[in-house]
Structure 1
Amino acid sequence: MVLVDLAAIAIYKGSGKKFFQALAFQLDIPTENDEGKSLTMDQLKEEIAANCNDSTLLIFPEAKRLTTGIRYWLEDLMASGVRVVCLAVANPGRDIFLEMLEIELEMPSDQRIREVMRSEAKRQGLNISESRLAELQPLAGRNPMVAKKVVRNESLGLKQHKPEHTQYVVIMPIIIAALMSFGIIRFIGMGTGNKSLYIFGGVSLVAGMTLKQLGSIRGARKRLGQ
């Protein structure tokens, strides 16, 4: 059983000093010297490192934002036994991330996404019926952040028809396989002299290719000004 005496969570938002101040505050580490002046970023690093041990847990959401200097600093902490948890959409696959155990979390369930949308609607003061939530949920997929955005767009009266996620199944290989099967039927008809199979396979292949091309018709993808 792993015991944790101290824990801190911080997200890097561009300011290294504020990042380390947030960690120090949660770890009950002073951020000012005896004269009342704020510690520099390097001094904060040293103070945090000196007060962390193998019972300290540091959690970093959006770990891909961590700068090279922070990652090297964390590498020293990890070497001294500090437990570090980094959360990211994908493993960056460099320096400290190569040393960490990788655990893939399950995607939120549809029920969880629905709860997030309800909470965001309540926060926005928007009254959304269950039927409307059911219509909006496919636009969010399994992403809680996108779910909140969909609700905000709904509160602004913006039209939403296109999903803002890529969590769908690509069926193009199935279509290609079906077209190839029609080609096989055509060749079987040609080899056996069966005109019915030959004609059916040829017509089906051409019709399938035609429908495939018609289905790929799209308007301009670039918006005005791009």
Structure 2
Amino acid sequence: MLTTGAIVAVNGLNPLSLLALGMGGILALLAAFGIAPRLSSKNPTTQESTPIEEIPAPGEFRIYRQAELNRTTASLLANGAILIAGEDGSGKSVLASAVVEKLQADGYMVAFIEPATPKQMLLEIAHQFDIPTENLEGKALTADKLQVAIAGFLEENTAFLVIDDAHACKAGFRMWLKQLRRINAPMLLLATDPPRTDIFINIPRIELKPLPEYAIREIMIIAAAERAIALKPSELSKLQERAGGNPMLASRAVDEEYLGLDVEGADHRRYFDITPLILLVGVVFVVMRFIGLGTNDQALYIFGGIAAAVFLGLSRLLYNLPPEDRRIR
């Protein structure tokens, strides 16, 4: 009797009402079991951690990526190579500086260079390693001879190469780095959206994730103190939305507030995870099909079947796309 009454009750509803009824019922069930989806990544629970006890004084240096620092240093000391990838301003250069400082404090030789012409980069590496750049006759070494000299030095000594913005280096220079890896020369590369070619495809990588909320807030408090301005908690929360876990954008947001600039939107790549919502819509379409079958509503049955088929096809297509193509930009 109960089943018959339920069918009679929904038989007079139009498809839109049935859709709303189905979505409401599913959301109620999810909430009852404590598994309601989170549609926003503004405050993800995975990134909420215990705040640091003390906020450092303005100008004091702090590393928020201690795990990445330890992992990178250990890889280099094992004659390995590692690539640190992340968006602009995510803290790659700060992390690299900490790695260089730690290695040099332990007595190791490190060459930390930035992109330039291949010859200039080779000369800079040679200068930092105290490798002669002239032959016995006083003539400057060619790029090919510099490459041979640097490779020989790395084979005979424990020394490390750290290259910032490696994605901007010429392809020929990156191919030379690939040859250095054949002799197990340890190197750290930092890149924004590195291509899947040459040296970048040969070495393991660490993808820098957005910093947790407490770290971004701390960076903003320090930046505000350096500029002698006081920010209310509500103002900090508004600025954090613009930063999106990016430390450079956090400092820039404070600068814009200091200058009184009215900025809308943000430049970060922190995205909303709408996967739970997509799955929920698919379930609703399937439920609609069964409701149409139980109520003998042919239109609802056909609509639910077509919608479910289209949804499954699109979800499968999106699943097979590369990760960066699934991002909501």
Q: TM-score, normalised by structure 2?
A: 0.48
Shift of 1:83: 0.8
Amino acid across the alignment from 1:72: M
Identical-residue share of aligned pairs (%): 34
Deviations 1:56-93 (A, max 9, x none): 21122322112111112112222122112222244522
- Tell me: CA distance 1:189–1:136, structure 2 relative to 1, closer, same or farther (3 Å): same
Shift of 1:183: 8.6
List runs of 5+ in structure 1 lacking aligned partners.
199-226
DSSP-derived class of the 1:93 partner: coil
In 1, distance between residues paired with 2:260 and 2:138? Answer: 51
Partner of 1:151: 254
Partner of 2:231: 129
- 133-142 vs 176-185, which moves further: 176-185
Does the 8 A contact of 2:110 with 2:129 survive in 1?
Answer: yes
DSSP-derived class of the 1:87 partner: strand
Root-mean-square deviation (CA, aligned residues, Å) is 3.7
Partner of 1:49: 151
In 2, distance between residues paired with 1:184 and 1:59? Answer: 56
- For residue 140 of structure 1, the aligned residue among 223, 227, 243 is 243
Kindly report which structure 2 residues correspond to 1:1-226, keeping only aligned pairs within 5 A, or say none.
Answer: 2=78, 5-12=108-115, 14-31=116-133, 41-53=143-155, 55-122=158-225, 125-131=227-233, 132-171=235-274, 174=277, 177-178=280-281, 181=284, 184-185=287-288, 188=291, 191-192=294-295
- Tell me: CA distance 1:193–1:63, structure 2 relative to 1, closer, same or farther (3 Å): same
DSSP-derived class of the 2:191 partner: coil
Shift of 1:9: 1.7
Equivalent pairs, count: 195
In 2, distance between residues paired with 1:86 and 1:174? Answer: 38
Shift of 1:136: 0.4
Does the 8 A contact of 2:224 with 2:231 survive in 1?
Answer: no
List runs of 5+ in structure 2 lacking aligned partners.
1-76, 80-102, 301-329
Does the 8 A contact of 1:126 with 1:155 survive in 2?
Answer: no
Amino acid across the alignment from 2:164: P
Shift of 1:36: 7.4
Partner of 2:83: none
- Tell me: CA distance 1:175–1:72, structure 2 relative to 1, closer, same or farther (3 Å): closer
Amino acid across the alignment from 2:151: A
Q: TM-score, normalised by structure 1?
A: 0.66
In 1, distance between residues paired with 2:143 and 2:159? Answer: 20
Amino acid across the alignment from 1:77: L
DSSP-derived class of the 2:110 partner: strand
In 2, distance between residues paired with 1:37 and 1:158? Answer: 55
Does the 8 A contact of 2:210 with 2:244 survive in 1?
Answer: no
Shift of 1:143: 1.5
- Tell me: CA distance 1:100–1:187, structure 2 relative to 1, closer, same or farther (3 Å): closer
Shift of 1:187: 7.0
In 2, distance between residues paired with 1:183 and 1:27? Answer: 66
Amino acid across the alignment from 1:6: M
- Tell me: CA distance 1:161–1:68, structure 2 relative to 1, closer, same or farther (3 Å): same
Shift of 1:52: 1.7
In 2, distance between residues paired with 1:21 and 1:130? Answer: 50
Shift of 1:42: 4.3
DSSP-derived class of the 2:204 partner: coil
